[in-house]
Amino acid sequence: MAHAAAPPDAAPAVATHESPAGTLGVYTQKLGMWVFLTSEVMFFTALIGSYIILRWGSATEWPDPTKSLAIGITALNTFILICSSVSMVKAYAAAVHDDQSGLKRWLLTTVVAGATFVGIQFVEYRNLLHEGFTPSSGLFGSTFYAMTGFHGFHVTCGVIAMAYVTLRAFRGKYAGGKYEGIETIGLYWHFVDLVWIILFTIVYLI
């Protein structure tokens, strides 16, 4: 046993380090986030699955989303979300290398990009509602607002959580290579981006 030979004054094993026993080889926060994300997979599958089934079984002609929705502004929003994923992963890399100014800069970029996404979605909703396209506008309306609404809610939660993490970063809480918190919130953020990639295709393009 290697641990038995450790001197009594050796630093105690920190729970956040890789490969403690019984956590599938990753630290506890990361495992917890992944377990949560797999349940989120089933949540969004229920929404997307319902959409596919309702659309497939629809007795009336389904409207062409590329004509009835604003594809240009949504494509721009998709691009913004992808960019925010890159800035998030850059923040993670900065945290790993203990580059504090890089960490703050990239986290801030991610928060701003995420907030921009929510803002653009808000404008999109306002325009659509103004045109008379509401959650009561048939199956297309209700499924559209249910799916994009729940996704937007996830992004909003992500922005709030990310703002909190950024605040902590400015207080130096992730100094000294403590990257675990950044990686864990990053997993959530990338997942929200991943869901949008699927939603954008299914709701807006097909």
Partner 1 sequence: MAAAAHKHPNYVLIWFYLAVLTGAELVVALLKVLPRNWLVTALIFLAIWKAMLVALYFMHLKFEPRRLVVTIIAPLPLAVILVLAVLREYAK
Residues that bind partner 1 (CB under 8 A): 16-18, 24-26, 31, 34, 37-38, 41-42, 45-46, 48-49, 52-53, 56-57, 66, 71, 75, 78-79, 82-83, 85-86, 88-90, 93, 96-98, 177, 179, 183, 186-187, 190-191, 193-194, 197-198, 200-202, 204-206
CB 106 to partner 1: min, Å: 11
- Orientation angle between helical segments 138-170 and 28-56, nearest 10 degrees: 160
Give the residue with the Cβ less far from partner 1, 55 or 104: 55
How far, in Å, CA of 99 to CA of 114, rounded?
Answer: 22
Give the residue with the Cβ less far from partner 1, 51 or 145: 51
Give the residue with the Cβ less far from partner 1, 97 or 126: 97
Give the residue with the Cβ less far from partner 1, 134 or 138: 138
**What single-letter DSSP state applies at residue 44?**
H
Q: How far is CA 157 from CA 11, 45, 145, 197, 204, in A?
A: 36, 20, 17, 18, 23
Residue whose tokens read 């004509």: 67
